[in-house]
Amino acid sequence: MNYISKLFTNHIAQELITEFNAEMRNAQEVLLIFPFISKSIINKIERSIKYCQTHNIIIRIITTTFDDLAQFNDFNELERLVTTYNNILIHVEDNFEKRSERIHIKASIFSRPNHQSSAIIGSSNLTYRGMVAGREWNVKLTAPANEDVITKMINEFNYLWENNLINFNDSTLRQELLAKITRNQEQQIIGMFGKQETEFDTIKKYLYDYQQKIINHLEYRRERGKNKHLVIMATGTGKTVIGAFDYLNQCHRHNRPLKILFLAHQREIVEQALKTFRTVLQDNSFGVLMYEGKVPDKQEYLFATIQTMLNNLDQFGSNHFDYIIFDEAHHIAATSFEKVFNHFQPQEILGLTATPERTDGKSIKEYFDDEYAYELRVWSAINQGLLAAFDYYCIDDISTDLQGVDLSSDSQVFQKLNTPARNDLLFSTIEKYLGVYAHPTALIFCVTTEHAKIIATFLQAKNLRAAYLTSEVSDQRAMILHQFKTGRINYLCVVNMFNEGIDVPEIDTIILLRPTNSRTVYLQQLGRGLRKTVRKGKLEVYDLISNIDSKYDLTIGIKNLYDPNLTTIKSLPQQAGLPYNCTITLEKKAQELILNNLKKWYQHKNRLQPQIQEYYQKYHDEGLYKLLADSEMSIYQFYNHIDDLYLRIANNWRKYSPGQNDLQRNQNLLKQFLFLDSYEIVNYFYLRLAQQLSPNDINLEYDNLLVTSLLYEVTSHPVFEKLLSNYLNEVDLVQTIINNNQMIVRELLLILKYKLEHETLIKTELRSTNLLLKQCTFTVKQVLAIIGRTNFLLPRGPLRIIAFQAGYLTFDNYYQVILADEDGQGYGKLTSYDEQKQKFYWSLPEKMTINHKIVKDMENNKIKKYLFLQNKINLSYPNLKLKLYRYIGTGIFEQLLDSKYLTGQFAVI
């Protein structure tokens, strides 16, 4: 092979394709990522594909539907490849959502050991024009000179490979995708003749990973005996899709169609929900609409407005429906919703909302057992790439003073904001940041209907394409919305019509003309622009900041855009705590006002001691759960904020009484339990500490793990003997610890109960006594206990206690544990786990040679190897840091890769 970097321009015909074929045949693995792939070029590389199959060279391909019509991608040819060659794996980006960050990368990577990898990257697609005939530039990179770049390319490829792409090798997913592409192509032709798209063409019929996680969590809750579920999902992340798939799952679970009632307060929401359900269920006749007083004859599957159902409650028995969904569930506390909610007694209730907080301060959690079933807030949704990133501009409004103004009074606010100076500020903002010749799809939130009219007229006078949409022109709504979506209107002035029920994904600009004291209203308004589209790079938000009365929180909206795990905020210009790729720009006066308000909020947020004591007095031990729910904190955020035990703070204990904490445990103990995610372990620990197990149910393996966790700092026999000098006479060491540390046990029971009821723990189908389940998380000490290297219980055998932090350990001549850190200091540079191929790679310390005993032990497959990879779940919580490892499985050594970093390759079993 020629390992010299070079440039290909297609001036010499076939030069690039010849090089491409040669690289494929000499690779250990081939990674291809191209938006467009044609049959003509596959014909030119098929001999190399056959060669790769014969020589067990895996070819992984990432491609895309691109425009959702796949006009430039031969998916029939790709289907032939995956059904013909077992060495070809293909993942496809489905751009049905038409997102702007779709794949444009054109690159080939040829992976080899011993510093000999190479890559070709440039402008060419995997088409005849791209690889042979077109005017293209492509560069070949070779190792070792470019090894760091190639390694980064491989890592980025693997990241994309795991990032919500469709597995084209899965026949079911493949046929769904091909059928959808065919429908879209047919629909484009039909659309040329003015036909409307079908209902099935607008909604995705499978779940993203994050949505499947929510479905799994709902199922887990049902196994725990819960039947009321309040799911919080940011606008644009698919709340109704969750409802449809969850309903479908429940029908399968009960082996029959369940009678369903879907309720919302607006007709548009109900109509769109029915379309979603019909698409997911693949039944265009499913369900009937019920609104405007019309009660249909068929009442098994109803999609109704709340007012119509309220007017006809007497026609339905309390048990008429098996499954009820309340969309925009924050309305439940309203009288009409509450009456309907209390009338029915279904088997399952699902509440869906983006904003559970009501403007009147009433809580809706009490209708759902005082808890959220799942939360996906705006910050997380943007950070995960599910919603559009934003550039947020806080504009100084020095002309308006709202001191003493009641923000809930539209008339008072309108009187103050309806001034020529304020209107001029709006236009100057547009002129400065957008430009008067720009054509945004901008939504302007006004105070009142009259205000919306005035602003629209003002902008029209400035030669901007503006209009208003209020209840007064509801008969023109369809026409105005069409003009807005298609760019004939650039600035649409509204009051609250767009808060709920109307969806225009094309919105790329939000202008906020009035302050709000409602988190719900703010998030609804912001959410109108967060949906992703092909043309929308980012959402731009312009917030005209006025000085408001000190009794109001100026940052009630903005603070929702920051990382909820932040414990302090020093300066906004650094953008710390914002979602990925988001910015906030503050003009001088706005920065002063907002920064002061945010600092006050963070200081208050971190003063938990008075709240803990207040909640404990009201609710006792249950106060922890109530406080977490009301404060919207996870248990990790809570313990990250406090520097002591919850019960110690709650009871204001300065000293412990005998039997409360004889072992002098502190908050570090809690970290050993907080991140456990094995259902069997958490459940056993809870039952054991609660003394609810019979003698026959006590398991010494689990007991040893429990004691190891309780005595987390014990690293030698002398330390153990000092703590428990009478251990030789202990019949039941766990019971002794329980008896002598009652307050600590109470605290742990609170944590374990929370995990059982609020987290989706990993469990097997059948009850298992095996402590090691794949993907479960453990501390280093817990790993040693599970694999039998440490023992604190004499009935199990002699005491075995060692000091060990992390890395690798061979013991008893038959076992080796590898606790691998990715990107570790001095080693771990290439450490990774390829779940698709079930391969584990461990980079050894840089100074280690192939003659080292650890390497010899690694190569010896008579030694059983336990493979663990660092779990970084706790790194967001600086006060909860400790080494955590995820169990990958046992490994069979396959080969030593002598690349830049000596790396062992294992097959995971």
Question: What pLDDT, on the 0 to 100 scale, is given for residue 27?
Answer: 94
679 token code pair = 């259902």
For the chain, the 3-state helix, strand and coil shares in percent, each to the nearest 5, are: 40, 20, 40
| Contact assessment for residue 84 and residue 92, using Cβ atoms and an 8 Å cutoff | no
Q: CA–CA separation, 262 vs 465, rounded Å?
A: 39
Question: What pLDDT, on the 0 to 100 scale, is given for residue 1?
Answer: 56
| Environment class of 694 (CB within 10 Å of its CB; exposed 0-12, middle 13-18, buried 19+) | exposed
Angle formed at CA 461 by CA 455 and CA 466, multiple of 5 degrees: 55
Across the chain, which has 909 residues, the per-10-residue mean pLDDT values are 78 84 94 92 92 93 78 84 94 69 89 90 91 89 91 91 86 86 63 41 64 93 94 91 96 96 91 94 94 80 94 94 94 87 97 80 82 90 90 92 89 95 97 93 96 98 96 86 95 78 85 88 89 85 86 80 67 67 87 76 67 91 88 86 88 84 87 96 98 96 97 92 86 94 95 93 71 94 94 92 84 91 65 88 82 91 96 88 95 84 89
Chain Cα centroid distance, residue 734: 38
Q: CA–CA separation, 110 vs 29, rounded Å?
A: 6
**Helices in 293-440 by DSSP H: which ranges?**
306-311, 335-343, 378-383, 410-417, 420-429
Domains and CATH numbers, the chain: 6-181 (3.30.870.10), 209-376 (3.40.50.300), 387-604 (3.40.50.300), 609-642 (no CATH), 805-909 (2.30.280.20)
Q: Are strands 374-376 and 138-142 parallel, antiparallel or unpaired?
A: unpaired
Instruction: Look up residue 260 and give its DSSP letter.
Output: E
Give the position of tokens 């308000």: 597
String of DSSP letters for 600-640: HHHHHHH--HHHHHHHHHHHGGGHHHHHHHHHT--HHHHHH
Chain Cα centroid distance, residue 329: 22
Angle formed at CA 707 by CA 706 and CA 713, multiple of 5 degrees: 115
Neighbouring residues of 844: CB distance < 8 A, sequence distance ≥ 6: 827, 852, 854, 855, 901, 902, 903, 904
Q: CA–CA separation, 393 vs 561, rounded Å?
A: 13
Neighbouring residues of 43: CB distance < 8 A, sequence distance ≥ 6: none
Angle formed at CA 463 by CA 460 and CA 469, multiple of 5 degrees: 30
Give the position of tokens 């938000």: 541
String of DSSP letters for 767-832: ----S--TT-EEEHHHHHHHTTS-B--GGGSS-B-----SEEEEETTTEEEEEEPTT-SSS-TT-E
Q: Which residues of 459-494 are buried (b: 16+ CB within 10 A; e: fewer)?
A: beeeebebbbbbeeeeeeeeebbebbeeeebbbbbb
Q: CA–CA separation, 449 vs 209, rounded Å?
A: 42
Question: What pLDDT, on the 0 to 100 scale, is given for residue 190?
Answer: 43
890 token code pair = 């046992």
Q: Is-cis flag, bond preceding 505, omega within 30?
A: no
619 token code pair = 């609710």
Q: Which residues of 634-673 are buried (b: 16+ CB within 10 A; e: fewer)?
A: bbbbbbbbbeebbbbbbeeeeebeeebbbeebebebbbbb
Q: CA–CA separation, 305 vs 270, rounded Å?
A: 7
Neighbouring residues of 568: CB distance < 8 A, sequence distance ≥ 6: 602, 606
424-430 long-range CB contacts below 8 Å, 24 or more apart? 425/395, 425/397, 425/399, 425/544, 426/455, 426/458, 426/459, 426/511, 426/513, 426/544, 427/458, 427/459, 427/462, 429/393, 429/395, 429/511, 429/542, 429/544, 430/459, 430/464
